[in-house]
Amino acid sequence: MKKGLLYITLGLTLFSTGCTHDFDEINSDPVAVDGSKYNANLLLAKSQYQYANTGYAQLLFQSMWAQLLSSTYNYYSNGDKYVASSGIIGYQNQLWNDDYKGASFAYEMVTLANEKGLTNLASAGTIMKILLIQHITDCYGDVPYSEALKGKTGSFTPAYDTQESIYTSMLSELETAINAFDPAADKLTSDLFYGGDIAKWKKFGYSLMLRSAMRIVKANPTLARQYAEKAAAGGTFAGISDNAVCPTDNSTGNGNGTSGALLVVEDYREVKWSKPLIDYLKANNDPRLNVASEVPPAGLKDGTNSALAGNKTPALQVGMPNGYDLAGGTTDITKRSDYPGSTGTGSDIYPLGKYSRPTTAVYLGRSAPEFVLTYAETELLLAEAAVRGWTVTGSAATHYANGVSAALQSLATFSSAAAISAATADAYATAHPLDVSSTAASMKQINEQYWATNGLLFNFIEAWTNWRRSGYPVLTPVNYIGNFTGGTVPRRIAYQSTEGSTNPVNYAAAVGRLQGGDTYTARIWWDAQ
């Protein structure tokens, strides 16, 4: 990657959408085009898609670090076994590169919007910038923020702000942006999330504020409480219709990278739901079990044919444990005592044929929507805030029930094949209330549900991030030979690989603040023990 690329507003292909489903594109360069003539709204959709479409990166790392997916395929060894594959550097860099690219769109959007007096667009752009930078800092730690995205001014070696200062700034900026929204002001004409609905943007902003506040609860509980209560009072999501979801359209080249990646032959054959997740769903008689998972048809040929549906019978679902291979040695999964057996015979044998995979009809559409932030997550976080004794309207038990019901119903956004009725979802939530016998019991239940909810919505980075914050669920680390963590679950991503040569002074300062250096095991600021 060329020096400064991440900190320059990039002139790439931009969406020219006027509604949430219009993906026609034009080739425009926001640097070359006169700002007075350029429609800054075009940058909103691009920044939204850039954030949502994490593709292979979250599959190769966080999906398996959080033990939601599992794979015997060596290409997934980075995630499943914490063992470096040949492509680890590229995917280690991907989140950094893509999110800074998205943040550059948002930054330029805010600049142009302010020049033209577009109040609402400036606020939406600020929220998108914060959303993208939070993604980056949550994965890497201290990163460029106050001096980032200013390549047009000649700033190519930005300082790395401490994560503490980043979060303090983000929360303050978020509050200012939310308060500036004005329904009577400019219209958002290229909004993939809400079609320009300002009321929903305000709820999105407050929901992001809540999530950001809860992230820092161990590192700065006073600031966390202050902003969590502000978010609750301001008005977070009120129902699943408020979910922030990014549509995709594979026909225009703007498809769902995660779903598309899983349809690669080797991935489709060897990526399964994890044992911890399937065991969790079965233990709770969760209605999502036979919506989200299926056992492939028998035999290698049919079992790896994405056009053929599998068997969704709950009793047949088996999650695949992490940390195994098909290499014939002691870590060969077929040698486990609980190995469910292969399917097919002869050349058609399928060793992984009885392990559950993500349901084809639900997850593997190349134009499947991508979840950004949901009502279910927000309600679960409000439940935790209530358990902590913070001031929020409603009890912890009520917020938890709302979150569980919403989690089940949200799956229908993927496909009608995943629809769980409100009546079924509410009945399940009523039958599985929050355990309020102790604070510890409540925290465990809330955060395990948060993990499962995000995993089943394919929001793997958020599931892994909240696992680091909360410690739930309790995961058994993989200790595969040659792993790069000493047999512990990774707690961050190593910095973008060229930073040591292109921004050496600031990179070195940031690494010096990490206990343990630029490793996958170093804890970032909010990941306090």
pLDDT in tens, 170-222: 999 999 999 999 999 999 999 999 999 999 999 999 999 999 999 999 999 99
- DSSP assignment of 357-385: EE-HHHH--TT--EEEE-HHHHHHHHHHH
DSSP 332: B
pLDDT computed for residue 336 by the predictor: 98
Residue type, 368: A
pLDDT computed for residue 426 by the predictor: 98
CB 274 within 8 A of CB 321: yes
pLDDT in tens, 468-479: 999 999 999 999
Measured over the CA atoms of residue 264, residue 268, residue 269 and residue 270, the dihedral's sign is positive
Residue in 140, 165, 95, 92 with CA at minimum distance from that of residue 518: 140
DSSP 143: E
pLDDT computed for residue 24 by the predictor: 39
- pLDDT above 50 (res 28): no
Kindly state the average pLDDT of the residues 433-446. Answer: 98
Mean residue pLDDT of the chain comes to: 92
pLDDT in tens, 334-349: 999 999 999 999 999 9
- Among the ranges given (116-120, 147-151, 492-496), the one the predictor scored with the smallest mean pLDDT: 147-151
CB 187 within 8 A of CB 120: yes
Dig out the tokens for 429 from the structure.
């939530």
Dig out the tokens for 131 from the structure.
């959303």
Q: How confident is the model at residue 54 (pLDDT cuts 50, 70, 90)?
A: confident
Q: How confident is the model at residue 6 (pLDDT cuts 50, 70, 90)?
A: very low
pLDDT computed for residue 89 by the predictor: 86
Peptide bond into 473 cis (omega under 30): yes
Dig out the tokens for 520 from the structure.
């996958």
- DSSP assignment of 193-218: TTTT-HHHHHHHHHHHHHHHHHHTTT
Cα Rg of the chain (Å, integer): 22
Residue in 403, 356, 367 with CA at minimum distance from that of residue 383: 403
Kindly state the average pLDDT of the residues 115-136. Answer: 97
pLDDT computed for residue 197 by the predictor: 98
Residue in 430, 431, 408, 429 with CA at minimum distance from that of residue 419: 408
Kindly state the average pLDDT of the residues 89-113. Answer: 93
Kindly state the average pLDDT of the residues 356-378. Answer: 95
Kindly state the average pLDDT of the residues 229-253. Answer: 97
CB 342 within 8 A of CB 334: yes
Dig out the tokens for 346 from the structure.
């002869």
- pLDDT above 80 (res 21): no
Dig out the tokens for 250 from the structure.
């594979």
Residue in 43, 175, 14 with CA at minimum distance from that of residue 111: 43
Backbone angles phi, psi at 73, to 5 degrees: -70, 130
**What is the distance, to the nearest Å, from the Cα of residue 21 to the centroid of all Cα atoms in its chain?**
22
160-161/143-144 β-pairing:
antiparallel
CB 73 within 8 A of CB 42: no
- pLDDT above 80 (res 19): no
Which one is predicted more confidently, 49 or 19? 49
CB 70 within 8 A of CB 319: yes
Q: How confident is the model at residue 323 (pLDDT cuts 50, 70, 90)?
A: very high
pLDDT computed for residue 55 by the predictor: 66
Dig out the tokens for 94 from the structure.
């991907």
β partners of residue 144: 160
Helix or strand run (H / E) with residue 525: none
Q: Which residue has the tokens 């390549």?
A: 151
Q: How confident is the model at residue 31 (pLDDT cuts 50, 70, 90)?
A: low
pLDDT computed for residue 20 by the predictor: 32
SS (H, E, C) 161-179: ECHHHHHHHHHHHHHHHHH
Kindly state the average pLDDT of the residues 509-526. Answer: 97
Residue type, 398: T
pLDDT computed for residue 5 by the predictor: 28
pLDDT-above-90 percentage for the chain: 85
d(CA 130, CA 61): 23
Dig out the tokens for 457 from the structure.
């919505």
Residue in 200, 195, 182 with CA at minimum distance from that of residue 45: 195
Q: Which residue has the tokens 């009725």?
A: 421
- Number of Cβ within a 10 Å radius of residue 526: 23
β partners of residue 325: 332
CB 208 within 8 A of CB 377: no
Residue in 354, 359, 358 with CA at minimum distance from that of residue 339: 354
Backbone angles phi, psi at 244, to 5 degrees: -85, 110
C-alpha to C-alpha distances, 203 to 185, 252, 367, nearest whole angstrom: 17, 30, 26
CB 354 within 8 A of CB 343: yes
Kindly state the average pLDDT of the residues 54-70. Answer: 90
pLDDT in tens, 491-511: 999 999 999 999 999 999 999
d(CA 148, CA 225): 28
Kindly state the average pLDDT of the residues 42-53. Answer: 95
pLDDT in tens, 248-290: 999 999 999 889 888 888 888 999 999 999 999 999 999 999 9
Q: What is the longest distance spanned by two Cα atoms in the chain? A: 69
- pLDDT above 60 (res 240): yes
b/e sequence 100-137, b meaning 16+ C-beta within 10 Å = bbbbbbbbbbbbbbeebebbbbbbbbbbbbbbbbbbbb
pLDDT-above-70 percentage for the chain: 93
293-294/143-144 β-pairing:
unpaired
Angle at 266 between CA 261 and CA 271, to 5 degrees: 70
CB 354 within 8 A of CB 101: no
- pLDDT above 70 (res 399): yes
d(CA 465, CA 443): 16
